[in-house]
Chains A and B, each alone.
Chain A
């Protein structure tokens, strides 16, 4: 391997690592706030990317149907609860949020012919289609058993994951796609060529991480999430609703997932089930951080990206084997550090 290849691989590793880091942050966030191990995180990556592909190729993204279907189910459930409790004033809001907004979005898609719109507008449209799925899935799948054990919530996560994979295949088909490049600028640095897209991914990830930092440090909702993560009961006694915290963390996780998908879709071919492996690599990073520390998780994720990129050069067939067995030494190390019996 010469320096040029090393640099190229490093560049690749850091690009992917930045994406894994974003996902790792979302996973740590969701776990800390809701105790849900968010396996379906990766599906948001794929849905984000493939929704943008649909918009760019002038097809109606299948995501809109999912949005409408989930919204309708929520309206049926929440609406009947509101009727039973005679809280008629809640009905218009329930209808508007869950069915009205998706319908308006659908109408906008039909009216605007998104393929001709500028890229930023397409990105915003894709995010508007995918991100609401996060809180909707929380409402339907997790909220009814929010108090269950981590294990039960994990099995629900896996069930949501396989459901979304199936739906992804239904909506987007089995072929992989790429989106148009955001930029085709590139720089010559020494011998190596630095892709504009790479810089964009890394910068966007950093901006998002800094934005998250300010969200958690400076805003009341960010502080509410941190409080819930630290002490659920205490936060509830202070008036922070566990449901709201759950919805909010799922919204953030969905947004991070979809945005990550949009960032990498010009450089990686995304299939309906690509998200899973991408999400799991974020997990490996998150596990390095013990599902608790944000900076360690992010650093771990970048490490995973580099490990993946260099092992694809040395032993490309065993790339996945190497990446996924790399968590074993981490677990050994963690296991040597803990020593008392836990009870859930």
Chain B
């Protein structure tokens, strides 16, 4: 995301140009800009949905239609004031989007867009066939908007309303993305598993952005109805829905400003092609779609980020940022007394079809101790981690965490109870900074939600969350990399970021999957020192690691796994002498 502190002067200049535009431009261009604004509002919803959330919808035009038809029907038939039909339209859209989201969003990603195609077609035919909505001829005589004494009759007056609405929505969207819930949304694309393990309710995040995108569309529809003062089903067809997606993708689907650029480009290009192509081909028809289709394919193949990154280069780079200011520390979870049983795994088994990855494993982890789980590659250690943390539930067996059964809870519920983990195959969001990645760990320690984030009522809590994330990064020795993109760090450092993220959740049990892999000698020493300090604080640590010096120097007790089963358990010295363990690691002497 480009939420960086771009010099404010660019924004001020942009607003100045907007204010002057309707006074200087001829009617034709004002109309064009009005449409660009209306389209950009819809495209912005798709940026949120597709570019940020990794979902998509071809049915946005149908939501525009719901907004437009609600106001058209209520104002013309029942004489309701247009200012009341806006919330009414949003309500209808919200209900429809919520129910549609609940139905499709729990299925794999491609069912949502397919659902929206079906839905977009169904609604288009509904608009065209319900006689109360005017059928294919539509509804005319929609009243003009009235702002105090001023009646917004001309496109020039309407211009300010459209672009003010667009700017407010853009700023609200940017604010939302730069917040606790925003980070959770940005984790949806390529990081759902990790986000769930950090306590994010990913289905809820998906439903929220789908609904928000629908509400933007509905608002655009309301504006459209009162600008045109006449509607029919045509602009709410699936083809228009597809065009909205094209705008978002061509403009730059991961950037809020890409929505304006895309809406502008496609609208102007369409205008130009609709003049040019029919005379060139000697036939009339929507031939611009051929150009748009080919353009889309090329954009997706060659420049997945669209046009916005090119525009962005024209602006000065954002200045370097300082560490988030110290804010009041977040409250901490009371830790259990040292020696208390934190985790009790009994007879835990995991089967993948015929393969038994974990076979009746039993062990305990106590507060203030490091328990190491070792074994050859493929012994089932990471599977065990996934089973305990709820990322991939066990087939059978019992897991108690602080006296409570958790084996059938989803990962986010387990995280809420004070367990945090790292992943063997690093799961960071490479395009986000180290600070933002670690801040995802603090998700459950904040409560401000979407609306608060959109209007910046979350700043105090946000400062505390970021301050906590920064403190954990410094504690793990990555203070110098706080604003680097997580994907640019070497793998060993990325593993440390994972530890900082886990610590930011304020856990009482930490599951570390090969934290020392890829680290150099001194870095390993520093990591061992950090784990000793955590242990002394009373945190329990379950550690999977291949570096025996590292394990034996840290662990109180060791469990050895082979072929999914417990091979041995005991103190580190005992394990090192155990002939069965030696044979599993080094092979027997024939």
Question: Could you tell me which A residues sit within 8 Å of B by CB distance?
Answer: 37, 39, 140-141, 144-145, 148-152, 154-156, 158-167, 169-170, 173-174, 277, 280, 283-284, 287, 291, 317-318, 320-321, 324-325, 327-328, 331-332, 334-335, 338-344
Contacts and interface: CB of A to CB of B under 8 A. Distances in A.
A167 B290 contact: yes
Given A150-B108, A339-B106, 16 more contacts: A149-B109, A154-B110, A158-B245, A159-B293, A159-B296, A160-B297, A162-B290, A167-B290, A169-B285, A280-B121, A283-B114, A324-B125, A331-B104, A331-B107, A343-B191, A344-B190
Most buried by A among B107, B114, B119, B304: B114
Contact of A152 (B126, B203, B292, B304): B304
A141 B297 contact: yes
- 6 A-B pairs closest in CB distance: A163-B293, A166-B290, A159-B296, A324-B122, A317-B129, A166-B289
Interface string B376-397: 0000000000000000010000
B300 to A, nearest CB: 5
Interface string B91-122: 00000000010111011111101110111011
Most buried by A among B102, B110, B242, B246: B110
A291 B461 CA distance: 45
A320 B191 CA distance: 38
A173 B282 CA distance: 12
B254 interface: no
B9 interface: no
B193 A161 contact: no
Contacts of B242: 158, 162
Contact of B106 (A37, A145, A335): A335
Interface stretch (B50-58, B71-79, B335-343): B50-58
| Chain B contact surface mostly | helix
A338 B285 contact: no
B126 A151 contact: no
A314 to B, nearest CB: 14
Contacts of A167: 290
Nearest to B129: A317
Contact of A156 (B117, B125, B300): B300
Contacts of B192: 341-343
B202 interface: yes
Interface string B262-303: 000000000000000000010101111110111011001100
A332 B286 CA distance: 37
A283 B115 CA distance: 10
Contacts of B122: 320-321, 324-325
Interface residues of B, number: 57
B296 A156 contact: yes
Interface in B170-206: 190-193, 196, 202-203
B126 A154 contact: no
B433 interface: no
B245 A331 contact: no
A269 to B, nearest CB: 18
A27 to B, nearest CB: 10
B239 interface: yes
A25 B65 CA distance: 33
Most buried by A among B202, B297, B301: B297
A155 B125 contact: no
Contacts of B486: none
Given A154-B56, A166-B286, A341-B193, A161 B293 contact: yes
A68 B296 CA distance: 22
Given A144-B301, A324-B119, A325-B122, A158 B110 contact: no
A151 to B, nearest CB: 6
B113 A154 contact: yes
A338 B300 contact: no
A170 B297 contact: no
B296 A155 contact: yes
Contacts of B286: 166, 169
Contacts of B115: 327-328, 331
B508 interface: no
20 contacts: A39-B117, A145-B301, A149-B54, A151-B54, A151-B55, A151-B56, A151-B110, A155-B245, A158-B242, A162-B292, A163-B290, A164-B293, A167-B290, A169-B286, A169-B287, A320-B121, A320-B122, A341-B192, A341-B202, A341-B410
Contacts of A174: 285
Contact of A287 (B111, B193, B300): B111
B307 interface: no
Contacts of A320: 121-122, 125
Contacts of A155: 56, 245, 249, 296, 300
A22 B171 CA distance: 49
B109 A162 contact: no
A162 B290 CA distance: 7
Nearest to B393: A340
Contacts of A150: 108-110
Contacts of A39: 117
Most buried by B among A37, A173, A331: A331
A318 B121 contact: no
A344 B104 contact: no
A340 B412 CA distance: 12
A156 B304 contact: no
B283 A170 contact: yes
Given A37-B110, A155-B300, A341-B193, A321 B126 contact: yes
Nearest to B106: A335
A244 to B, nearest CB: 20
Contacts of A145: 300-301
A328 B109 CA distance: 16
B103 A331 contact: yes
Contacts of A327: 114-115, 118
Nearest to A158: B242
